[in-house]
C-alpha cells in the first residue's frame, strides 16, 4: 500500500508565552501544500519490521525514524504483523515544512487500513499527538488555526487554490533551541486567527513570523530569499515555521530557479 505524505506551510507565527513545561504556546495557521514524500508499507512475511529510505538522505539513525515510531506505538495496543516500510523523501528536512510529522501521521493512516484496525479520526489524532506537536494536523490535513503548543487545531475557511507557491531552502540548519533563543514571547495586538481573514494582498503588512527577526540576523541568506520573492512579484512571503525554508505566494506562475541555483527549489500551483 502506498500513500503520499504532503507538507505544510505556516501562515504567520506568533510566540505567545513560555509554558511551565518548557515549551511555548504559539499561534499559527497550517496550510497543506502539494509537495509529497512517497510512503509504502507492505507485510514483511517473516514477522520482522524494517525501514529503509531513498531520495533526500535522512540523517541520523534510521531506526529512530518517526515512521517506525508510529508502527511501534500502534503495536503497543494491537497485535501487528511485521512490515517493510519504504520512504522516498522529497520534502527537505529541517525546513519548517513538517515532512517528518506528515510521514508519521500517514504511517498511522496506512497501518490502520492495512491491518483493518478500524480506528476513527479521533483515535488516530490521539496516537498522532503522541508522536509530535504537529503530527495530528496531517490526520485531517485541512487549513487550520493551530494554538497552544501548536498541537490544538481549529478548522479555517481558507482557500488558496489558484495561487502559485515557490519554496526555497538553503543548506542551512536552524535548531529549535537556536530559533527560540532570540525571541521574546508576548501577547500580540491581533491574533493570527483574525489576521488570516484579511485579504491575501494585506498579509505582507500584517501577518508576521516571530522567528524571522532573530534568524534573519544570524542567517542573512534566508532573509535574502524572502526579499527576492517580493522583488519578483510575490504577494506574500515568509519563513515557514522556524525555518530554514522560505515560501512565496504568487498570482501567476514564475520561474525563479536561476536565482536559486544550488538551493532546494520547488514550485507548484496550489
Query: Annotated catalytic sites, by residue?
Result: 8, 134
* Cα 150 to Cα 202: distance, rounded to the nearest angstrom: 24
Long-range contacts from 43-49, C-beta under 8 angstroms, 24+ separation: 43/81, 43/82, 43/83, 43/84, 43/114, 44/81, 44/82, 44/83, 44/84, 45/82, 46/82, 47/81, 47/82, 48/82, 49/82, 49/83, 49/84, 49/85
Is there a contact between 55 and 92 (Cβ–Cβ < 8 Å)?
no
Q: Can you tell me whether residue 257 is helix, strand or coil?
A: helix
Q: For CA atoms 171, 176, 178, 181, give the dihedral sign.
A: positive
Q: What is the enclosing helix (H) or strand (E) of 224? A: helix 220-231
Amino acid at each position: 500500500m502506498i500513500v503520499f505524505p504532503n507538507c505544510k506551510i505556516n501562515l504567520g507565527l506568533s510566540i505567545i508565552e513560555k509554558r511551565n513545561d518548557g515549551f511555548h504556546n504559539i499561534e499559527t495557521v497550517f496550510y497543506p501544500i502539494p509537495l509529497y514524500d512517497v510512503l509504502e508499507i507492505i507485510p514483511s512475511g517473516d514477522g520482522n519490521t524494517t525501514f529503509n529510505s531513498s531520495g533526500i538522505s535522512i540523517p541520523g539513525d534510521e531506526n529512530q525514524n518517526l515512521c517506525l515510531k508510529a508502527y511501534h506505538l500502534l503495536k503497543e495496543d494491537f497485535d501487528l504483523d511485521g512490515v517493510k516500510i519504504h520512504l522516498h523523501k522529497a520534502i527537505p528536512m529541517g525546513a519548517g515544512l513538517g515532512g517528518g510529522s506528515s510521514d508519521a501521521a500517514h504511517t498511522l493512516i496506512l497501518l490502520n487500513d492495512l491491518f483493518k484496525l478500524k480506528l476513527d479520526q479521533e483515535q488516530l489524532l490521539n496516537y498522532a499527538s503522541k508522536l509530535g506537536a504537529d503530527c495530528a494536523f496531517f490526520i485531517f490535513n485541512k487549513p487550520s488555526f493551530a494554538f497552544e503548543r501548536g498541537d490544538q487545531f481549529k478548522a479555517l475557511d481558507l482557500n488558496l487554490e489558484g495561487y502559485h507557491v515557490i519554496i526555497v531552502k538553503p543548506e542551512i540548519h536552524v535548531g529549535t533551541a537556536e530559533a527560540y533563543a532570540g525571541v521574546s514571547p508576548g501577547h500580540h495586538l491581533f491574533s493570527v486567527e483574525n489576521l488570516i481573514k484579511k485579504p491575501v494582498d494585506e498579509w505582507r503588512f500584517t501577518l508576521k513570523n516571530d522567528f524571522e527577526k532573530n534568524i534573519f540576523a544570524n542567517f542573512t541568506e534566508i532573509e535574502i530569499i524572502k526579499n527576492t520573492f517580493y522583488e519578483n512579484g510575490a504577494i506574500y512571503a515568509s519563513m515557514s515555521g522556524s525555518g530554514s525554508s522560505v515560501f512565496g505566494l504568487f498570482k501567476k506562475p514564475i520561474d525563479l530557479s536561476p536565482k536559486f541555483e544550488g538551493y532546494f527549489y520547488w514550485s507548484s500551483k496550489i
